[in-house]
C-alpha cells in the first residue's frame, strides 16, 4: 500500500513538472511571437522607407505594392541631395546637435551630482521642480522661448537654435537615479584622501555612471537631430536650416510629392541615428535599468 502511494506521489509530481514545462514553453513561444510582432510593426515602416528610396515614382504608386524594387535606381539619392542644400543642413544639424548634447550631458551630470552628494537648502524642492519640468510639453515653451531669443537678438542664429535645448530634465533625473546606486563608501574614501568634489565627480562618478551618461547623450542626440518645429520657427534662411526642414522642402518645393526622392532624403536623416543606436544599444539598456534601481 505504501509503495502504491509513493508511486502515485511520484506520478503526480512528474505530471506537475511536465505541466509546468509545457506552460513555460507556451509562454516562451508567446514571448517570441510578441517580439516578432513588435519587430514587424516597428521595422516595416523603416523597410518600406528604404526600398521606396530605390524605386521610381510610378512603382511606388503601383497596387498591390512590391516589397522588393523591381527596377532599382540610385537616382533618388543625388536628386534629393541636389533638391535642397543638404550639405549645409548637415553642417547645421551636426553643430546644433553636438553643442546641445554636450551642454545637456554636462549640466545633467553637474546637477545630478549636486542633488545626490551635496547638502544645501531646498535640495528636494529643486528636484521636484525638475520632475515638474518633465511634465511640461515642449510646445508650451515655444512662444516664451521665441520671445526671449528675439529680445536677445538670437533669431536665425546658432545661439537661438542651441540655448532653448541646452538643459534636460530627463537627463538630470536619469543621472541622479544612477548616482544614487553608486556605493557612497568610494566617495567617502576619496574624500578622506583629500579629493575635492570636482575630482570625485570626474574621476569616480562619471566613469562609474558611463552607461547612464551615454544614454542621456543618445536621447539628446535623437531629440536635437530630429527636431523640426523649433528650427522651423527660429530660423528664416536656408543657411541656418537643419535636416528635418530639408526633408520638408522635398515635399513642398515642387508642389507635389516625389516619394522616392523624399524617402532618400529621409534616409539621410535616419541613417546616422540608426547607426548610433546600433553602436550604443547596450549602454541604453544598462543605463535605464540601473537608473531605475533607486527612487
**Looking at per-residue confidence, does 254 or 272 come out higher?**
272
The mean pLDDT of 248-276, rounded to a whole number, is 79
Residue 257 to residue 141: CA distance in whole angstroms: 32
pLDDT in tens, 142-169: 999 999 999 999 999 999 999 998 988 8
Report residue 123: phi and psi, to 5°.
-60, -45
pLDDT above 50: residue 293 = no
CA 12 distance to own-chain centroid: 51
* High-pLDDT (> 90) share of the chain, %: 23
The domain segmentation of the chain, as residue ranges, is 2-52, 76-291
Say which range, 11-25, 36-50, 259-273, has the weakest mean pLDDT.
11-25
pLDDT band at 294 (very low <50, low <70, confident <90, very high): very low
Nearest to 149 by CA among 228, 82, 73, 230: 230
Residues whose CB falls within 8 Å of the CB of residue 175, separated by 6 or more in sequence, listed in order: 108, 109, 111, 112, 113, 209, 212, 213, 216, 291
- For 98-121, what is each residue's pLDDT tens digit? 999 999 999 999 999 999 888 888
Please check whether residue 268 is in contact with residue 156, taking contact to mean a CB–CB distance below 8 angstroms: no
Q: What is the DSSP string of 98-166?
A: HHHHHHHHHHHHHHHHHHHH---TTHHHHHHHHHHHHTS-GGGGHHHHHHHHHHHT-TTSHHHHHGGGS
Closest CA to 270 of 243, 288, 294: 243
Residue 291 pLDDT: 45
Distance of CA 179 to the CA centre of its chain: 21
**Residue 156: per-residue pLDDT:** 92
Q: Please, is 68 exposed, middle or buried when counting C-beta atoms within 10 Å of its C-beta (0-12, 13-18, 19+)?
A: exposed
Please give the backbone phi and psi of residue 150, each rounded to the nearest 5 degrees, phi first: -65, -40
- Residue-wise pLDDT for 40-68, tens only, equals 888 888 888 889 889 888 888 887 878 88
pLDDT tens, position by position, 119-142: 888 888 988 888 888 888 888 889
User: First and final CA of the chain: distance in angstroms?
Assistant: 58
Cβ–Cβ under 8 Å, residues 213 and 109:
yes
pLDDT at position 202 over 90: no
What's the DSSP call for residue 228?
-
Fold of 76-291: MetI-like fold (1.10.3720)
Q: What is the pLDDT of residues 204-248, one digit of tens each?
A: 888 888 888 888 898 899 889 989 999 999 998 888 999 998 888
Q: Which residues contact 177 (CB under 8 A, 6 or more apart)?
A: 212, 291, 292, 293, 294, 295
Amino acid at each position: 500500500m505504501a509503495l502504491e502511494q509513493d508511486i502515485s506521489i511520484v506520478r503526480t509530481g512528474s505530471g506537475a513538472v511536465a505541466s509546468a514545462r509545457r506552460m513555460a514553453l507556451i509562454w516562451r513561444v508567446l514571448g517570441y511571437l510578441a517580439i516578432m510582432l513588435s519587430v514587424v510593426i516597428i521595422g516595416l515602416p523603416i523597410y518600406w522607407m528604404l526600398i521606396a528610396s530605390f524605386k521610381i515614382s510610378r512603382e511606388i504608386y503601383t497596387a498591390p505594392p512590391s516589397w522588393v524594387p523591381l527596377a532599382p535606381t540610385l537616382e533618388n539619392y543625388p536628386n534629393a541631395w541636389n533638391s535642397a542644400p543638404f550639405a549645409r543642413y548637415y553642417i547645421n544639424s551636426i553643430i546644433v546637435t553636438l553643442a546641445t548634447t554636450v551642454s545637456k550631458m554636462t549640466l545633467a551630470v553637474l546637477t545630478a551630482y549636486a542633488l545626490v552628494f551635496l547638502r544645501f537648502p531646498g535640495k528636494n524642492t529643486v528636484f521636484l521642480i525638475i520632475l515638474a519640468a518633465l511634465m511640461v510639453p515642449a510646445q508650451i515653451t515655444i512662444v516664451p522661448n521665441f520671445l526671449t531669443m528675439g529680445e536677445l537678438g538670437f533669431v536665425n542664429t546658432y545661439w537661438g537654435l542651441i540655448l532653448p535645448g541646452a538643459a534636460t530634465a530627463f537627463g538630470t533625473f536619469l543621472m541622479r537615479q544612477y548616482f544614487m546606486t553608486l556605493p557612497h563608501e568610494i566617495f567617502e574614501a576619496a574624500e578622506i584622501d583629500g579629493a575635492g568634489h570636482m575630482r570625485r565627480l570626474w574621476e569616480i562618478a562619471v566613469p562609474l555612471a558611463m552607461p547612464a551618461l551615454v544614454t542621456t547623450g543618445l536621447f539628446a542626440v535623437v531629440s536635437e537631430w530630429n527636431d523640426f518645429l523649433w528650427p522651423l520657427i527660429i530660423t528664416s534662411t536656408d543657411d541656418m536650416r537643419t535636416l528635418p526642414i530639408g526633408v520638408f522642402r522635398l515635399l513642398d518645393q515642387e508642389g507635389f510629392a516625389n516619394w522616392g526622392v523624399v524617402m532618400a532624403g529621409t534616409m539621410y536623416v535616419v541613417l546616422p541615428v540608426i547607426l548610433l543606436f546600433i553602436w550604443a544599444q547596450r549602454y541604453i539598456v544598462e543605463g535605464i535599468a540601473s537608473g531605475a534601481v533607486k527612487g
